């Protein structure tokens, strides 16, 4: 189990790094969107490439941060029933969901999307819009994002099994950012 926990930590570190880097694309999207709108309305200059670049960045954030989101247990859940169950039962439900739903679906989508990316790469597929971008980078995001989500699913599965065996603390505990914990203290001092 120590080897599996080391693998889990490596997957967590990978998705953490990718998530923190890719999150900066949100700022880039805002800047590109603002510049695109300013040029279009103030100077009457427009380009489909800038609009498509925004779409590519949005896709990158959504797909490449899905593993990061799962790592931090921030995916949408329906906790109406689950919240009334014991912690061990919740963990068993997570294990069942990961094995029966998450891993098969994410692996299948990554597998199915790989040939689509390869076809776009080999053919040099371009956007049908005038002045549009090449398509293979956007096509690559799908298998890459779902592979990262699959890996994080494996990591979460390992952690939950280790928890049930009493080897680690509860993996579903929220990952706290110490900088965010200072915010209420700072706000109270200003009163």
Per-residue pLDDT at 184 exceeds 90: no
6 located within any domain? yes
Backbone angles phi, psi at 176, to 5 degrees: -90, 135
Q: What is the mean pLDDT of residues 32-53?
A: 86
What is the number of structural domains in the chain? 1
Give residue-wise pLDDT tens across range 122-180.
Answer: 998 888 777 778 889 999 999 999 999 999 999 999 999 999 998 888 887 765 555 44
Q: Is residue 177 part of a domain?
A: no
Cβ neighbours for 91, distance < 8 A, ≥ 6 positions apart: 160, 163, 164, 172
Q: Other C-beta atoms within 10 Å of 144: how many?
A: 18
Q: Is residue 180 part of a domain?
A: no
Distances (CA, A) of 91 to 29, 129, 160, 166: 37, 48, 6, 13
> Of 13, 49, 35, which Cα lies nearest the Cα of 175?
13
Long-range Cβ contacts of 40-47 (<8 Å, 24+ apart)? 47/131
Residue numbers of the domain that contains 48: 2-76+83-172
Using the predicted structure, report yes or no on whether residue 76 has a pLDDT greater than 50.
Answer: yes
Neighbour count for residue 6 (Cβ, 10 Å): 11
With 0.85 as the threshold, say if the pTM is over it: no
């Amino acid at each position: 189990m120590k080897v599996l926990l080391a693998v889990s930590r490596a997957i967590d570190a990978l998705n953490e790094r990718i998530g923190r880097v890719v999150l900066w694309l949100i700022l880039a999207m805002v800047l590109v969107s603002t510049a695109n709108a300013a040029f279009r309305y103030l100077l009457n200059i427009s380009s489909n490439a800038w609009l498509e670049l925004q779409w590519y960045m949005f896709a990158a954030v959504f797909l490449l941060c899905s593993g990061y989101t799962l790592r931090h247990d921030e995916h949408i859940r329906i906790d109406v029933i689950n919240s009334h169950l014991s912690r061990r039962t919740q963990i068993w439900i997570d294990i069942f969901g990961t094995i029966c739903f998450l891993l098969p679906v994410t692996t299948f989508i990554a597998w199915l999307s790989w040939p689509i990316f390869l076809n776009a790469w080999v053919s040099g597929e371009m956007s049908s819009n005038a002045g549009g971008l090449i398509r293979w980078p956007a096509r690559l995001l799908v298998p890459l994002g779902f592979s990262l989500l699959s890996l994080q699913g494996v990591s979460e599965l390992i952690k939950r099994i280790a928890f049930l065996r009493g080897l680690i603390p509860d993996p579903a505990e929220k990952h706290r950012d110490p900088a965010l914990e200072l915010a209420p203290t700072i706000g109270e001092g200003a009163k």
